[in-house]
Amino acid sequence: MEFILNAFLTFYSMESLKFLAGFCILAYLIGSIPTGYIIVKLKTGQDIRQVGSGSTGATNVKRVLGKKWFFIVMLLDALKGALPVLISKYFLSAGMLLDPYGIYAVACAVFVIVGHSKPVFLGFKGGKSVASGVGTILALSPLAGLIIALIWGAVTYISRYVSLGSIVALVLSPFIMYFLNAPAAYVAYCALAAVYIVYLHRENIKRLIDGNENKVR
C-alpha cells in the first residue's frame, strides 16, 4: 500500500491535484450546457423537459423538431463530451502535467457526463449522457469510440430502439477498451459509465420488457 501511495504521489503532487480539481469543475460546467434544451427553446419556445420523457437529450428533441435536429443535438452532445477530455490531453501532451495512469482524462470524462445528466443550469435534470459518453470515449480512444458508435448504429437500426442501441453499445464499451489494450483507467471508466447509463435508462428497460418503448420511425 505504501509503495502504491508513493508511486501515486510521484506523479500527482498537491499542485497537480489542484489542476485536476479545476479540470473536473470545467468538465462539469461544459457537460451542464443543455444543448437540447437551448435549441428547442430557441426554435419553438417550448421547455423540452415538459415534452415526452422530459429528457434534454437528442431522442426527446426528435419528438419536437424531427430527425434533422436529433442528429444535430447528438453531434453537439458528443462534441461536448469530447472537449474536456481533449483539453486535459492537450495539457498532458504539452508536458505541463504528468499523468501516466490516465486519471486526468478519465476524471474529465466522468464529470462531463455527470454534468450532462445533472446540469447545474437546469436544476440537475438533463439527458441520459449517451452521446456525451460516446464523445468522451472517442476522445479517450478514437478506435474504441468508433466501434461503439457503429454498434449503437447497428443495434438501433435493426431493433429501431434508440435506448436498446445505447444500452448495448455502452455495456460493451469496457470490453472493447480492454481488447484494444487501453489503459486500465479507461476500462474502469467505461465500466462505470456503462453502469451509470444503464441506471439512467431503467425506465426504458422496463418499457422494453413490457413492449411499450418508443421505436425510431
Q: Residue 63, Cα to own-chain centre: how many angstroms?
A: 21
Q: What is the pLDDT of residue 29?
A: 95
- Return the number of other C-beta atoms located less than 10 Å from residue 33's C-beta: 18
| Pairwise CA distance, residues 217 & 208, whole Å | 16
User: Which segments within the chain are labelled E, that is strand?
Assistant: none
Cell of 82: 469530447
pLDDT in 10s for each residue of the chain, 217 residues: 444 445 445 455 666 677 778 889 999 999 999 999 999 999 998 998 888 778 888 888 988 888 899 899 999 999 999 999 999 888 777 666 666 667 888 999 999 999 998 999 988 888 888 889 899 999 999 999 999 999 999 999 999 888 899 899 999 999 999 999 998 889 999 999 899 888 988 888 898 888 888 777 6
**C-beta separation of 145 from 176 below 8 A:** no
The pLDDT of residue 5: 45
> What pLDDT score does 3 carry?
41
So what's the pLDDT on residue 7?
45
Would you say how long the chain is, in residues? Answer: 217
User: What is the residue type of 145?
Assistant: G
CA–CA gap between residue 132 and residue 212 (Å, rounded): 26
Among the listed residues 181, 151, 183, 178, the one whose alpha carbon sits nearest the alpha carbon of residue 167: 151
Q: Is the pTM of this model over 0.85?
A: no
The position carrying cell 419553438 is 44
